[in-house]
Chains A and B, each alone.
Chain A
Amino acid sequence: MVENRPWLTFFSHAVLIAGVVLVAFPLYMTFVASTLTLEEILQVPMPLVPGGHLWENYVQVLTAGSERGAAAPVGRMMLNSLIMALAIAFGKIAISIIASFAIVYFRFPLRNFFFWVIFVTLMLPVEVRIIPTFKVASDLGILNSYVGLTLPLIASATATFLFRQFFMTVPDELAEAARIDGAGPMRFFVDVLLPLSKTSIAALFVIQFIYGWNQYLWPLLITTEESMYTTVIGIKRMITGGDALTEWHLVMATAMLALLPPALVVVLMQRWFVKGLVDTEK
């Protein structure tokens, strides 16, 4: 602090509190709506304090889904989302850590070529190759399966870059010492490099878990069976169109269930989350 200006400090707090309230307002209203009955929501204006139907609404969506839209239980969808998020996070970390190990610690023909092959994937997000990628998935027969949900998304240039960047900072003496002691490359990787990478892995895990949980376009394309829907897709399918027809109390309960797990990961693992965000953008 350069100088003491009480009014400016007061003003700063006021702006921040306004920001926090504004940012939290949609979440609060979602929570309120998820504890009301549909009739209570439909009266204008809807109540601003939580009602007494929290338990019923959540049990209803978790076990039975909505009545007018998709009738798939959200419990199942949350399991699908969890499987997808974990598979993508672990899959990405696993394949990119070994790929960057190869690129950093070996000299071999075509090394730079492979590096560029991985780099170029940054420029091909799913959104620009929707239909051909769908075709590939359908030719491979992996529509409506966990393999189809996760495998096409686990190649990642950002994770490979992150590990490459990190390996570059590992002192050469470690590899030298390992070699003198007679350790092969894999031994060095498992006993030296992996333990050193723990923080990078944790940071990347948080980011990729959120990425996987929040996927939308890809699951929308390749899941047609209700039993394979993820939570985010489930919400979309519950909105039947038309304000008064949508069962907002159930949609909002599902929205809460869809956003709580990743939000908890961000808040509880805040340190890793911030590190992951900053590192993946380098």
Chain B
Amino acid sequence: MEKRVVFRSAWLPYALLAPQIAITIVFFFWPAFQAAWFSFQLQDAFGLKTEFVGLRNFVELFKDPRYLESFKITALFSVLVAVCGIAVSLVLATMADRVLRGALAYKTFLIWPYAVAPAVAGVLWAFLFAPSVGIVTFALRQIGIDWNWVLRGDQAMALVVIASVWRQISYNFLFFLAGLQSVPKSLIEAAAIDGAGPTRRFWTVVFPLLTPTTFFLLIVNMVYAFFDTFGVIDATTQGGPAGATQILVYKVYHDGVKSADLGGSSAQSVVLMIIVIVLTVLQFRFVERKVHY
């Protein structure tokens, strides 16, 4: 789509674009280019000498069992976050769409966690589940579950999933509610007249119409789980115990900043960039079909 009426100037558009383009080049393109460049190099332990090694960093990366493990953990983590978050929010949104009284109040009380920083969300839940002082830990112990996420990998994973989902519920909820409110009432009435009960109506009429929203949220939640949950992990488990919650983004940070392995970390950055590109393309291809301009 193009504007019919435009202004003419030889220099003004460039001047208007300059700040954005300058920042983009200095802080986005140049670093991304460098990451790609470093990923083909090997640095010695003292950072004195670098040597061009081609694809060796990538080969080493995919031979490293810990990296492959991190891939599996990331996949498990993002699927859990996306599926749990979507399921819980869909239930809440369907209920909120039904009730007339107090709808706004419910909405207000459900959306505020979006404002909580992932790292802070991590701290809140880590406190509730803290092995010795946590109130939820205490409750779990009463019913015979020994909870200690500092030592047990599966429980650490549960903790970071809960904290990540909790923060994302509000976002999913708002999109589902908007989706539900745009389902034509006449369709639901027609189904009701044909004798379909609320459950039947939901699965045969409403849910199919929500498929675009669900798919969109699935991708957004995956991206969220891949990148934005860094704060949750760093504030709680820091990838532990024994790498049980070390998602890819955390590993890039850990290897690059804590272990100063420039080549390896850069190769991981490049792999991540490819993942983001795939997810972004998916999201946009799909959004194009959903929104009609």
A contact set with B: CB distance below 8 Å? 1-3, 5, 8-9, 11-13, 15-16, 19-20, 23-27, 29-30, 33, 41-42, 44-46, 48, 95-96, 98-99, 101-108, 111, 114, 117-118, 120-125, 127-133, 135-136, 140, 151-152, 154-155, 160, 167-168, 172, 175-176, 179, 184-186, 188, 210, 213-217, 220-221, 232, 235-236, 239, 243-244, 248, 251-252, 255, 258-259, 262-263, 265-267, 270, 273-274, 277-278, 281-282
Is A132 a contact partner of B120 (Cβ separation < 8 A)?
no
Is B117 a contact partner of A2 (Cβ separation < 8 A)?
no
Is A95 a contact partner of B20 (Cβ separation < 8 A)?
yes
Q: List 6 A-B contacts (CB under 8 A).
A: A44-B138, A107-B6, A127-B252, A128-B269, A131-B265, A155-B20
Q: Which of B111, B262, B291 has the most CB of A within 10 A?
A: B111
Question: Shortest beta-carbon distance, B65 to chain A, in Å?
Answer: 23
Given contacts A99-B20, A131-B257, contact A152 B27 (CB under 8 A): yes
A106 contacts which chain B residues (CB < 8 A)?
6-9, 12-13
Is A27 a contact partner of B124 (Cβ separation < 8 A)?
yes
B27 contacts which chain A residues (CB < 8 A)?
133, 136, 151-152, 155
Is B266 a contact partner of A16 (Cβ separation < 8 A)?
no
B118 contacts which chain A residues (CB < 8 A)?
214, 216
Given contacts A45-B138, A131-B262, contact A26 B128 (CB under 8 A): yes
**B188 contact from A2, A105, A136, Cβ within 8 A:** A2
B contact set with A: CB distance below 8 Å? 1, 3-10, 12-14, 16-17, 19-21, 23-32, 34-35, 38, 88, 91-92, 95-96, 98-100, 102, 106-121, 123-125, 127-128, 130-133, 135, 138-139, 166, 169, 171, 174-175, 178, 185, 188-189, 192, 198, 216, 220, 227, 230-231, 234-235, 249, 252-253, 256-257, 262, 265-266, 269, 272-273, 276-277, 280, 287, 291
Given contacts A23-B109, A106-B12, A277-B171, contact A235 B116 (CB under 8 A): no
Given contacts A99-B16, A125-B276, contact A255 B96 (CB under 8 A): no
Is A46 a contact partner of B92 (Cβ separation < 8 A)?
no
A234 to B24, CA, bound (A): 29
Is A23 a contact partner of B117 (Cβ separation < 8 A)?
no
Question: Shortest beta-carbon distance, A49 to chain B, in Å?
Answer: 12
Is A29 a contact partner of B17 (Cβ separation < 8 A)?
no
A2 contacts which chain B residues (CB < 8 A)?
185, 188-189, 192
Closest to A104 in B: B3
B92 contacts which chain A residues (CB < 8 A)?
15-16, 19
A278 to B175, CA, bound (A): 8
Q: Is the interface of A mostly helix, strand, loop or mixed?
A: helix
Given contacts A8-B98, A20-B106, A131-B262, contact A3 B132 (CB under 8 A): no
A221 to B27, CA, bound (A): 14
A248 contacts which chain B residues (CB < 8 A)?
127, 130, 133
A172 to B26, CA, bound (A): 35
**B24 contact from A46, A155, A167, Cβ within 8 A:** A155
A278 to B172, CA, bound (A): 11
Question: Shortest beta-carbon distance, B210 to chain A, in Å?
Answer: 15
Is A23 a contact partner of B110 (Cβ separation < 8 A)?
yes
Closest to B31 in A: A132
B17 contacts which chain A residues (CB < 8 A)?
98-99, 102-103, 114
**B21 contact from A19, A42, A117, Cβ within 8 A:** A117
Beyond the given A25-B128, A278-B174, please list 17 additional residue pairs across the A-B interface where CB-CB is below 8 A. A2-B189, A9-B99, A13-B95, A19-B92, A19-B95, A20-B106, A103-B13, A118-B21, A127-B230, A128-B276, A132-B31, A140-B26, A154-B23, A155-B28, A167-B3, A255-B120, A266-B115
Is B5 a contact partner of A176 (Cβ separation < 8 A)?
yes
A251 contacts which chain B residues (CB < 8 A)?
123, 127
Given contacts A9-B99, A124-B276, A270-B111, contact A216 B231 (CB under 8 A): yes
Given contacts A123-B277, A282-B291, contact A8 B272 (CB under 8 A): no
**B6 contact from A42, A105, A213, Cβ within 8 A:** A105
Is B120 a contact partner of A185 (Cβ separation < 8 A)?
no
Is A172 a contact partner of B166 (Cβ separation < 8 A)?
no
A87 to B260, CA, bound (A): 31
Q: Which of B6, B117, B272 has the most CB of A within 10 A?
A: B117
B249 contacts which chain A residues (CB < 8 A)?
127-128
Is B34 a contact partner of A127 (Cβ separation < 8 A)?
no
Is B24 a contact partner of A121 (Cβ separation < 8 A)?
yes
Question: Shortest beta-carbon distance, A22 to chain B, in Å?
Answer: 9
B8 contacts which chain A residues (CB < 8 A)?
106-107
Question: Shortest beta-carbon distance, B256 to chain A, in Å?
Answer: 5
Given contacts A123-B280, A124-B32, contact A217 B230 (CB under 8 A): yes
A24 to B121, CA, bound (A): 12
Is B198 a contact partner of A8 (Cβ separation < 8 A)?
yes
Is A266 a contact partner of B198 (Cβ separation < 8 A)?
no
A135 contacts which chain B residues (CB < 8 A)?
31, 34
